[in-house]
C-alpha cells in the first residue's frame, strides 16, 4: 500500500474491526480507550482508512473525556484551507490530540490582522496562518535591492500584525507558515534581487528569526514541500480553480506535519529515544561476531550508514533528547563497542540508561521509563527487528515504535520525518535536558542498589 506515513507500522489485518469497536463506543457518547484510539490512527493509512479516522476524529471532538489534549486551531489564509480541517483531526488522534480546526472567512488575513473584529468569534489555542506570496509582496523590480528590502519589511509587518491579533483577540500564539519554494526560471534566481525565489528565501529567514525571538511560532511548509517535491506539492489547476495553496491529496501529510508541531506545543513530543544495538547501531551481533566482526564505518556502505545514524542520534541528544539502550545481550558484551570500537561515535556517557540483559524488550522499556521518570508516551523506540517492534507495539502501545525497516540507510529519514522529536525554538534549558535526565537515572540506579 502506498502511504504518506512510512514511519508508522503497517495496517493491521483486524484494523477495520478495531475501528468499528471504537466507533460503537463513540456512538454511545463515551470516549473510547486512549491508547487503542491512538494505535488505529497511527498506522499506514490508505485513502479509505484515512477518511474513516477523519470521521472518528470529528465524532470524538464532540465527546467529553480524558486522555487526549484538546486543541482549538484557527486557520487563516488568503487561499482555501477547509481541506485541512478533517485531516488535522485524524492527524491529531495519532499524536494524542483532539484537534478542532476553524477556518476564517476566505481572504480574511487583512481583516484579522488590522481590524478590531475577531473573525473566529471564539478563544483558540493557536492560529495557523498560511499566506500566499500575493499577500506579502510589494513592488520588487529586478536588481532593485532597496525595493526587495522594503518588501521583506512589509512581510514582517504583516506577520507581526497577525501575531499581535492572535494574542489580543484569541489569547493564543500565531503559527506562521513559511513560503514553499517555487519553480525557478534559472539557477541565478537566488542571486537576483527581486526574483520570486530570492524573496521567498528572505521571507522564510525573516520568519525563522522572528520565531527564534519568540514573536510567533513557525510551521516550515517550505521544508515539507521540498521533501515532497515542488512539482508534487503545488497543483496549478487546483490553485487557480479552487484557490488551494497545495495539492489536496497531500492534506493528510501536511496535517500530520502540523500536528507534530501542535504536539510539541502541548508537551507531547518524544523526550527519549530508546535504541536497540545489534543491527541498529552497528551491523552484526556483538555476542556472536565479537568486536572485530561487527560493522561500523570501515569504508563500507553499510558501516558508514550506521556511523551516519549514530551521528544523527548524537544530534538529537544535543537538542535535549535523552538516549537509552534496550538490548537482549550480556551487559559487559553490549558495552564493549561503546568502550573499545574506534569507529563508534556513541559512548557510554551519552547513554542515560543502559538496559542490556535477557528480559523481554517491553519489560526493559518500562524499567527505562521508570529510571528516567518519564511516562511511556514520552518514549520513542528504534529496533531493526520487525518482530521486536511488533511485540513492543502490542504490549506498550503508548511507546512510539518507529517503523525504521531493516536497512540502516533509511534509519535517519524514518526517525526525522516521523515528527516525534519536533520542538519549539530551543533554549539553554532544552540543551541541558539530556544531561539532567541522565542524572535522574543515575540516582534511580543508586537507590535500586541500596
Domain containing residue 287: CATH number = 3.40.50.1000
pLDDT (mean) for 426-434: 75
Does the pLDDT at position 371 exceed 90? yes
Residue 115 and residue 126 in one domain: yes
Residue % of the chain over a pLDDT of 70: 96
The pLDDT of residue 281: 98
Q: Which of 43, 66, 89 is the last residue of a domain?
A: 66
Does the pLDDT at position 428 exceed 70? yes
Alpha helix locations (H) across 106-195? 109-114, 133-136, 145-165
What DSSP character marks residue 357?
E
Residue 242 and residue 360 in one domain: no
Does the pLDDT at position 430 exceed 80? no
Residue 220 and residue 203 in one domain: yes
Q: Which of 265, 281, 301 is the last residue of a domain?
A: 265
Residue 261 and residue 280 in one domain: no
Q: Residue 192: pLDDT band by 50, 70, 90 thresholds?
A: very high
Does the pLDDT at position 33 exceed 90? yes
The pLDDT of residue 334: 97
Residue 428 and residue 440 in one domain: yes
Residue 125 and residue 178 in one domain: yes
The pLDDT of residue 440: 63
The pLDDT of residue 1: 43
- CB-count exposure of residue 347 (10 Å: 0-12, 13-18, 19+): exposed
Q: Residue 446: pLDDT band by 50, 70, 90 thresholds?
A: very low
For the beta sheet containing 217-219, the strands, ordered from the edge strand earlier in sequence to the opposite edge, are 97-103, 69-77, 126-130, 174-177, 217-219
Q: What is the pLDDT of residues 219-240, one digit of tens each?
A: 999 999 999 999 999 999 998 9
Which residue is listed with cell 534559472? Answer: 186
Q: What is the pLDDT of residues 93-109, one digit of tens each?
A: 999 999 999 999 988 89
Answer for the pair 31, 1: CB distance below 8 angstroms, yes or no.
no
Angle at 245 between CA 239 and CA 251, to 5 degrees: 115
Q: Residue 39: pLDDT band by 50, 70, 90 thresholds?
A: very high
The pLDDT of residue 177: 98
pLDDT (mean) for 127-146: 87
Residue 374 and residue 252 in one domain: no
How would DSSP label each residue in 266-285?
A: TT-S--EEEE--BTTTBBS-
The pLDDT of residue 441: 61
Residue 147 and residue 237 in one domain: yes
Residue % of the chain over a pLDDT of 90: 85
Q: What is the pLDDT of residues 288-338, one digit of tens each?
A: 999 999 999 988 999 999 999 999 999 999 999 999 999 999 999 999 999
Residue 221 and residue 331 in one domain: no
Does the pLDDT at position 65 exceed 90? no
Q: Residue 439: pLDDT band by 50, 70, 90 thresholds?
A: low
The pLDDT of residue 2: 55
pLDDT (mean) for 110-138: 89
Q: What is the pLDDT of residues 272-289, one digit of tens each?
A: 999 999 999 999 999 999
Rounded to 5 degrees, what are φ and ψ at 70?
-85, 135
What is the spatial distance between Cα 409 and Cα 308, in angstroms, rounded to a whole number? 9
The pLDDT of residue 359: 96
Q: What is the pLDDT of residues 391-405, one digit of tens each?
A: 999 999 999 999 999
Q: Which of 232, 265, 298 is the last residue of a domain?
A: 265
What is the spatial distance between Cα 157 and Cα 146, in angstroms, rounded to a whole number? 17
Q: Residue 4: pLDDT band by 50, 70, 90 thresholds?
A: confident
The pLDDT of residue 445: 57
Angle at 37 between CA 35 and CA 38, to 5 degrees: 65
Tally of structural domains, the chain: 3
Residue 52 and residue 88 in one domain: no
The CATH code of the domain that includes 198 is: 3.40.50.1110
What's the domain range around 301? 272-449
Residue 289 and residue 379 in one domain: yes
Residue 56 and residue 82 in one domain: no
Amino acid at each position: 500500500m502506498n502511504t504518506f506515513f512510512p514511519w508508522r507500522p503497517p495496517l493491521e489485518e483486524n484494523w477495520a474491526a478495531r475501528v468499528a469497536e471504537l466507533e460503537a463506543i463513540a456512538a454511545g457518547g463515551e470516549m473510547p480507550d486512549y491508547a487503542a484510539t491512538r494505535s488505529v490512527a497511527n498506522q499506514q493509512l490508505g485513502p479509505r482508512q484515512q477518511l474513516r479516522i477523519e470521521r472518528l476524529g470529528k465524532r470524538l471532538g464532540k465527546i467529553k473525556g480524558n486522555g487526549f489534549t484538546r486543541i482549538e486551531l484557527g486557520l487563516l489564509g488568503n487561499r482555501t484551507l477547509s481541506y485541512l480541517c478533517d485531516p488535522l483531526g485524524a492527524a491529531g488522534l495519532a499524536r494524542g490530540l483532539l484537534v478542532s480546526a476553524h477556518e476564517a472567512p476566505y481572504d480574511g488575513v487583512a481583516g484579522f490582522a488590522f481590524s478590531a473584529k475577531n473573525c473566529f468569534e471564539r478563544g483558540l489555542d493557536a492560529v495557523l496562518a498560511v499566506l500566499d506570496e500575493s499577500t506579502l509582496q510589494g513592488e520588487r523590480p529586478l536588481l532593485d535591492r532597496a525595493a526587495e528590502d522594503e518588501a521583506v519589511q512589509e512581510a514582517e509587518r504583516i506577520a507581526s500584525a497577525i501575531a499581535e491579533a492572535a494574542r489580543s483577540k484569541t489569547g493564543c500564539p500565531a503559527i506562521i507558515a513559511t513560503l514553499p519554494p517555487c519553480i525557478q526560471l534559472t539557477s541565478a534566481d537566488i542571486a537576483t534581487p527581486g526574483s520570486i525565489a530570492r524573496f521567498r528565501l528572505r521571507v522564510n529567514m525573516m520568519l525563522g528569526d522572528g520565531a527564534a525571538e519568540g514573536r510567533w511560532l513557525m510551521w516550515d511548509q517550505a521544508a515539507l514541500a521540498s521533501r515532497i517535491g515542488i512539482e508534487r506539492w503545488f497543483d496549478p489547476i487546483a490553485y487557480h480553480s479552487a484557490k488551494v495553496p497545495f495539492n489536496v491529496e497531500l492534506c493528510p501529510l501536511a496535517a500530520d506535519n502540523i500536528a507534530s508541531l501542535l504536539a510539541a506545543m502541548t508537551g507531547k513530543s518524544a523526550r527519549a529515544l530508546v535504541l536497540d544495538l545489534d543491527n541498529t547501531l552497528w551491523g552484526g551481533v556483538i555476542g556472536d561476531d565479537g568486536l572485530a566482526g561487527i560493522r561500523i564505518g570501515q569504508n563500507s556502505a553499510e558501516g558508514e550508514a550506521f556511523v551516519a545514524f549514530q551521528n544523527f542520534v548524537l544530534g538529537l541528544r544535543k537538542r535535549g533528547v535523552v538516549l537509552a539502550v534496550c538490548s537482549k545481550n550480556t551487559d559487559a558484551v553490549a558495552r564493549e563497542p561503546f568502550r573499545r570500537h574506534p569507529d563508534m561515535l556513541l559512548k557510554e556517557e551519552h547513554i542515560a540508561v543502559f538496559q542490556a540483559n535477557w528480559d523481554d524488550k517491553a519489560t526493559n522499556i518500562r524499567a527505562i521509563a521508570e529510571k528516567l521518570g518519564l511516562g511511556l508516551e514520552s518514549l520513542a523506540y528504534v529496533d531493526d527487528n520487525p518482530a521486536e517492534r511488533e511485540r513492543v507495539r502490542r504490549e506498550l502501545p503508548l511507546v512510539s515504535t518507529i517503523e525504521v525497516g531493516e536497512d540502516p540507510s533509511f534509519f535517519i529519514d524514518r526517525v526525522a520525518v516521523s515528527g516525534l522529536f519536533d520542538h519549539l525554538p530551543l533554549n539553554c534549558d532544552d540543551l541541558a535536558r539530556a544531561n539532567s535526565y541522565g542524572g535522574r537515572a543515575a540516582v534511580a540506579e543508586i537507590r535500586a542498589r541500596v
